[in-house]
Amino acid sequence: MTIAWLGVGSNIGDRLGYLQAGAAALGQLAETAVLAKSSIYETEPVGGVEQGPFLNGVIKIETSLSPEQLLEAVQQIEKANGRERFIHWGPRTLDIDILAYGQQIVEKSYLRIPHPYLQERAFVLVPWAEIDSSWQIPGQGMVGTLLEELPILDLAGVTKTVSIW
């Protein structure tokens, strides 16, 4: 079994409902258990596409699925919750990103672990640090240290909205 970290987000429709459905579906995956969920934070979108604010959180799981199997599973969960991939970094009902998979580094055309942008994103680091600020991200450092290195303005757009979901 391997500890994996997943970032979840939604900015269309019943945002909290989609996050709850995604977390429940993760708990139903074979050989996978949800160990912890951060609070939910409302955040401004990144990437330059005009769209509404996101709800974001981080989920810690334990799984014996391979990184590739986990990617396939989370993409199926996204699709089952109405995710459509039309615009890169565009609006979405449910987004599930694999942030880290144990201490593995995966470099494939369709999958990069650790997630290539996580060290820049307060909407990932704030909820992750809430669960485990001492987690060592391969090649990047500890979650808490990365969070401390973010500009204060990046943190201003991250507001806790829901503690238990």
Of these residues, 15, 97, 132, 154, which one is catalytic? 97
Q: What share of the chain is helix, strand, coil (3-state, %, to 5)?
A: 30, 30, 40
> Active site residue: 15, 85, 95, 121, which one?
95
92 is catalytic: yes
Torsion angles phi and psi, residue 131, rounded to 5: -85, -50
What's the Cα-to-Cα distance from 85 to each of 3, 68, 138, rounded to whole Å?
28, 19, 29
CA distance linking residue 103 with residue 114, whole number of Å: 9
Q: Say how many C-beta atoms besides its own lie within 10 A of residue 54's C-beta.
A: 23
Asked if 10 and 92 count as a contact pair (C-beta separation under 8 A), the reply is yes
Task: Provide the strand spans (E) within the chain.
Answer: 2-10, 32-37, 40-43, 54-63, 95-101, 106-107, 112-113, 136-137, 141-142, 158-162
Residue among 15, 83, 121, 132 flagged as catalytic:
83
- What number of CA atoms fall less than 13 Å from residue 141's CA on the CB side? 11
The catalytic residue among 15, 92, 132, 154 is 92
Q: Is 97 part of the annotated catalytic residue set?
A: yes
Residues known to be catalytic: 83, 92, 95, 97
